[in-house]
């Protein structure tokens, strides 16, 4: 923690009796303990702007009083964590990941599905679902007939996020049509229906998907290992020990030969990193042995 001046005013006219440095430090501690998210000192203004509406709605007059509430009330604490998560995402972000999935990984997964073997994919930190449905459409491909083994087989795409509003958005599977502008048109045509200005993901696609709330710091209830894990631009919010632990858990959740896709500024790290081989731009494959 950096040394700070005694006076702390995140905005002109905001009294330290309403929001103080001690309040910011308390919020930092709660968010880190609950979700592993690191809020650097420069995020004091963001914390104020995100939580001030909750403070008002709770009837508390100060952040200190509200912090006492979120320490004691799990429901209110969950609202605060929701407000402080970052959910920036868009369709076909980091396109080279989807090109790799389509060209290098999909054929083997299609063969598995045809043979009746389970296929499991995880969009970890799925936000409002743009990554999830980019992944699903890439897996299914442009030909509905060829995609039939995926649709009829034991194929599940799990999508998880910490924030309740993100889970709700991913479950709804409805977006502005313009949001899909970067998705190849041959993938949009068979799997997306335009309703006015909205894009509705087809029911058969949604039937493959399970959207759940999950805190990475808590237990992971998955019963089968995964062929693919996408966890992109999530680890940037964690400190190094949390990143190391998370990557180790991801590696343990992958089948031998499974792939982990991470964000452009992230790296595989931790005690089990030697079990992974870099096979593309921020794409890792778990070694067979």
Which residues does the annotation mark as catalytic? 50, 161
**Which among 48, 53, 201 has a CA at the least distance from the CA of 131?**
201
Calculate the alpha carbon distances from 158 to 3, 60, 83, 108, 124 in Å: 43, 38, 23, 19, 8
Other C-beta atoms closer than 10 Å to the C-beta of 30 total 18
Q: How distant is the alpha carbon of residue 64 from its chain centre?
A: 30
Percentages helix, strand, coil for the chain, rounded to the nearest 5?
50, 20, 35
Helix (H) or strand (E) holding 193: strand 192-195
Rounded (10°) CA dihedral 113, 231, 123, 29: 150
In the numeric block, the tokens 């209830």 are attached to 221
Alpha-carbon distance 35 to 217, whole Å? 6
């Amino acid at each position: 923690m950096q040394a700070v001046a005694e006076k702390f005013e995140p905005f002109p006219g905001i009294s330290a009796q309403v929001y103080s440095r001690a309040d910011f430090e308390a919020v930092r501690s709660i968010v880190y303990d609950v979700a592993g998210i690191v809020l650097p000192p420069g995020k004091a203004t963001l914390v104020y702007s995100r939580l001030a509406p909750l403070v008002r709605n709770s009837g508390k007059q100060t952040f200190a009083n509200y912090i006492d509430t979120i320490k004691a009330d799990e429901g209110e604490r969950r609202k605060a964590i929701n407000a402080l998560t970052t959910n920036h995402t868009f369709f076909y972000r980091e396109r080279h990941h989807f090109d790799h999935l389509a060209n290098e990984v999909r054929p083997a997964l299609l063969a598995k599905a045809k043979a009746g073997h389970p296929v499991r994919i995880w969009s970890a930190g799925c936000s409002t679902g743009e990554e999830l449905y980019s992944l699903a459409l890439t897996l299914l491909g442009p030909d509905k007939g060829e995609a039939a083994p995926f649709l009829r087989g034991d194929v599940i795409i799990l999508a998880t996020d910490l924030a309740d509003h993100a889970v709700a958005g991913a479950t709804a599977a409805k977006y502005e049509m313009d949001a899909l502008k970067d998705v190849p048109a041959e993938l949009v045509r068979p799997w997306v229906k335009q309703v006015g200005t909205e894009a509705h993901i087809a029911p058969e696609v949604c039937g493959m998907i399970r959207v759940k709330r999950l805190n990475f710091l808590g237990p992971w209830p998955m019963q089968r290992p995964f062929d693919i894990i996408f966890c992109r631009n999530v680890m940037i919010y964690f400190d190094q020990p949390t990143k190391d632990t998370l990557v180790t858990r991801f590696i343990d959740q992958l089948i031998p030969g499974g792939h982990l896709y991470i964000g452009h500024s992230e790296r595989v790290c931790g005690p089990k990193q030697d079990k992974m081989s870099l096979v593309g731009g921020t794409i890792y494959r778990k070694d067979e042995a």
